[in-house]
Structure 1
């Protein structure tokens, strides 16, 4: 009897187990599905503008070599930079890249005597990302390289174009057997540089202008994302999110796995995600794609940003993007953080995300001309820099200063990048109102000396709208792009887009190029209206519609002439 009871119980248990297995396999969703309501699920609102990987990969500078040891430098966003890169180089084909040792050619001799163009990418860009800009075909060794610079040149003893790709370690160079470029292309590049400010090269390969170059101090109004907007963008379930305030006064949002720290009076955020995996490292290019997608979904892009080159030790985990205002990058300057976005990734998942919550309005509120040092003044300051032996690059940049009434001031500076990737401010521009002495190599502008005899344009010429005819320079050619040469002849772009010299006397000598992006002069700078002594200075900028706007000087105190600082 007892055995029968045990058998019956066992059969019942087995049947119940089979029933439970069936329900788990086929009927669980219908039994107890959890449906989120509108109250406990918050859709992330779109913030900012989306971008693509193609939009963040471009050289930090173009160097034009004109022979006879003459050089000039073009910055991102200037008209000639865009014309050369976007219209003449981007999308070209470079095939059959063959590897050789970099020391096989005397590059210093070539740099001094041959005409060509260098595309510089800082610490280097992986080839698979560079293929977003150029059509590249090479062997496996080449495809796994990081390219620091591309040199397209025409040797004087040859009538063919040669293109070289330099690895970031400086040991290897790859030459394209077939390049989709002509000798005329290279000649056109060099022609653009003939009427631009000359640069000299230091012994260790740094380029500095022979004379002061004109920049602009600008004030931009801004808007700001609220911490709540970013919290909704980064956390799916607001019902599980808590807000706390730490000892420093920073506000922290957390759901137990992810945290969002709001600092700098609500202007800066640091996001962390501890739930992400931490096994193998991804390739740098994979992390770049993941970073661009993440930013598109969580905050978007405020204006133009460039992918920052990472050191080999950093590239497996970190991805950074730098903001540009006109043609100048924003340098990180403690204690005010602004101008870059930095992400840390594990297994392609973002574990850390730092960025500003400020978004600039499209139009600047005020701008004043400021001159950046050149020649011996800049060389001497560089020579006395305590970390001179560690300097890998020198470049003009902008330092952001917060003002009242939701405004940011951008002050032009000379910055240096060290070999370890850190950047510091070397020298601030001359104070507002300073005018450099006239160059002995350049003629005076129309009307003789202008006050103190200083030229108004960046290269000793006068800005659009100040010629004897009173018309803006951009109106002197059919395509809206022309400038007057230093010898009194006009220099412009022909119908085919090439640099051409026009008939002498077509306009006032030394008139400055109008920028297609509305940045003022060719390098995004300002001019000085008026040619008689004692006339009042007015800052001008050419807008997108070709009209000339007058900037209003701000009342902020100017820093000292040779002020220095550190971004660290």
Structure 2
């Protein structure tokens, strides 16, 4: 009987030892046996869906030129914008020829020719445009970043013309072959005839001649906690230590990477200065690497558009702008919310900033608000022009925290020559 008890006890001890060995090998944080991705990242929390590059690259606005110095504007996700852009995406552009912008009368083109102008703010690499439009590869053209595409008609010609403007400023590429007829362009232009009239100001920006309607919305929100962010960003969250800063922010670090969380702003900043560069890169490949990083480290908590691709040294800056409906949500010094910002070194993310706020399902309240247009808007812009040159004026949402969530208030955003964006008071 004693021998049987000894045997049972021995089996239990051996089994217990095997179970403990299993957990030590496969369960303890930091074990090399845990399955990892190529970037040493263990995927845990999903904070939003993954996104494809093709859904993040689109123009910030579509200007419709109707001749006689008449214009209107369609903004992203609006009916006519989506219809026209989807049709243009189905057309091909080929045989690009480099031209000097000095040889093109932009003022005449804007005022007299029927056409469609797509703008991309700070510019998009051609290699990324090829993902959303049927642009045939061209060695010289592919090295450029494009901030405008202008498709227009010339009187008594049956074929449409297509110009692609480089961010370099003095260079434009014309598609020798564009799969568009003058009739195609005219049909798209006609969509704007009954829309709000806009006036070109000094050839730089446009203002509506009447007030425009927008929706002020209020949402219930949730906040990603620091544990979620640590699980998403650190290989082994269990070895991070916490440092409290004098300004109230908290820093979590594993001695290599750091995560700074500002609770009042509900904003996080992650840095990985020890990230090993993957090799040579380009602005286009860095954008794709940034999208992959967000996909792997939590996902996207709303609609975003590629806003900035900074071709700098030694880092490339990539910014994704959040949208509500047709208009962008501003990121302001008072309340950082509407953007995701990543810096990359040779294709590897070295820093990542985003809001910790996400909207819960459903809208708590909505009401229509009017943004002033016409002479009232001109008068308000005069004060800004005394300080700096205005390069763009557009409708946007200014976010603010409320007791129950977040409010998006319609405002006029003004982009200045130095690149800063201010809210029109």
Distance in 1 (alpha carbons) for counterparts of 2:403 and 2:25:
43
Distance verdict in 2 for CA 1:314–1:207, change over 3 Å: farther
Counterpart in the other structure of 1:267 = 266
Cα offsets for 1:21-70 (capped at 9, x unmatched):
xxxxxxxxxxxxx9643132575222211001111110000000111111
* Residue of structure 2 in register with 1:239 after alignment: 238
Point out where structure 1 has 5 or more consecutive residues left out of the alignment: 1-33, 427-563
**C-alpha deviations, 1:380-418, integer Å up to 9, x for none?**
22222156543221111000000113x100111111112
Give the whole-Å Cα distance in 2 for the aligned partners of 1:415 and 1:266. 21
Give a deviation string over 1:477-498, Cα, whole Å, max 9, x none: xxxxxxxxxxxxxxxxxxxxxx
Structure 2 gaps of 5+ residues are: 1-22, 31-41
Give the distance between the partners of 2:314 and 2:180, measured in 1 at CA.
32
| Residue equivalent to 1:424 | 422
Q: Is the 8 A contact 1:63 1:72 kept in 2?
A: yes
The 1:314/1:305 distance shift into structure 2, 3 A limit, reads farther
Question: Does the 8 Å contact 2:220/2:406 carry over to 1?
Answer: yes
Query: Displacement, 1:138?
Result: 5.2
**1:401-420, aligned counterparts within 5 Å?**
401-405=400-404, 407-420=405-418
Cα distance, 1:388–1:215 mapped onto 2, change above 3 Å: farther
Equivalent residue number for residue 40 of structure 1: 29
Q: What corresponds to 1:228 in structure 2?
A: 227
1:42-81 → structure 2 map (5 Å cutoff):
44-81=44-81
Hey, what does 1:171 align to over in structure 2?
Answer: 170
TM-score, L = length of structure 2: 0.88
Distance between the aligned counterparts of 1:164 and 1:228, measured in 2? 49
**Residues of 2 paired with 1:234 and 1:201: CA distance?**
46
2:384 is paired with a residue whose SS is coil
Q: CA deviation at 1:276?
A: 1.5
Superposed counterparts of 1:472-483, under 5 Å = none
1-side partners of 2:315 and 2:413: how far apart?
26
Specify the alignment match of 1:180 in structure 2: 179
**TM alignment of 1:93-132, pairs within 5 A:** 93-132=92-131
- Separation (CA, whole Å) in 2 of partners of 1:99 and 1:257: 47
Give the superposition deviation at 1:314: 7.2
Question: In the alignment, is the contact (CA less than 8 A) between 2:45 and 2:298 conserved in 1?
Answer: no
Question: What is the CA–CA distance in structure 2 between the aligned matches of 1:339 and 1:376, rounded to whole Å?
Answer: 30
Structure 1 residue 253: Cα displacement: 1.3
Asked if structure 2 preserves the Cα contact closer than 8 Å seen for 1:382 and 1:388, the reply is no
Mapped partners of 2:327, 2:27: distance in 1: 45
Distance across 1 between alignment mates of 2:46 and 2:411: 35
The 3-state SS of whatever aligns with 1:119 is strand
- Aligned residue for 2:141, secondary structure, equals helix
- SS of equivalent to 1:306: strand
Number of aligned residue pairs: 393
Query: 1:261 Cα shift?
Result: 1.0
RMSD: 2.1
CA contact (8 A) 2:261 2:268 kept: yes
Aligned partner of 1:516 in structure 2 is: none
Q: Which has the larger radius of gyration?
A: 1
**d(CA) in 2 for partners of 1:234 and 1:279?**
19
| Paired residues for 1:526-537 under 5 Å | none
In structure 2, relative to structure 1, the CA distance for the partners of 1:282 and 1:163 (3 Å cut) is same
* Stretches of 4+ aligned residues off by more than 6 angstroms: 278-281
Partner in structure 2 of residue 341 of structure 1: 340
1:363: which partner in 2?
362
Question: Which structure's relative contact order is higher, taking Cα pairs within 8 Å and 6+ residues apart?
Answer: 2
